[in-house]
Amino acid sequence: MQQQQNLHYVYPEIFLVEGNASSPVACSSVAAPPPVPPRKQLKARKARDNTFFCLWVVFLLVLLALTGVGVGTYKVLQMQDEVAQLKEFTSDGHLTPALEKRIGLPDISSEKRKVMQAAHVTGKENSKSVPLEWEDTYGRTFTAGVQYKNTGLVINETGLYFVYSMIYFRWKSCENHPLSHTVFKRTPRYPKDLTLMEGKKTNYCGNNGMWARNSYLGAVFNLTRFDSVHVNVSDVNFVGFEESKTFFGLYKL
Each residue's pLDDT tens digit, 72-91: 788 778 777 776 665 555 54
Q: Distance (Å, rounded) from C-alpha 201 to C-alpha 181?
A: 9
> pTM of the full predicted structure?
0.57
pLDDT tens-digit readout, 183-231: 999 999 999 999 999 999 888 887 778 889 999 999 999 999 999 999 9
Angle subtended at Cα 204 by Cα 200 and Cα 206, rounded to the nearest 5 degrees: 160
What share of the chain in percent tops pLDDT 90? 44
Query: Which CATH number does 115-252 carry?
Result: 2.60.120.40
- Looking at residue 124, what is its pLDDT? 92
- Looking at residue 65, what is its pLDDT? 82
Q: Is pLDDT of 46 > 80?
A: no
Average pLDDT value for the chain:
80
Q: Is pLDDT of 177 > 80?
A: yes
- Looking at residue 192, what is its pLDDT? 94
Nearest alpha-carbon partner for 134 in 209, 215, 20, 236:
236
- Looking at residue 25, what is its pLDDT? 47
| 183, 217 contact by CB (below 8 A) | yes
Mean pLDDT on 169-195: 92
Q: Is pLDDT of 161 > 80?
A: yes
Nearest alpha-carbon partner for 248 in 185, 205, 176:
185
Q: Distance (Å, rounded) from C-alpha 155 to C-alpha 118?
A: 9
Q: Is pLDDT of 13 > 70?
A: no
Domain ranges of the chain: 47-112, 115-252
Mean pLDDT on 100-114: 56
- Looking at residue 85, what is its pLDDT? 64
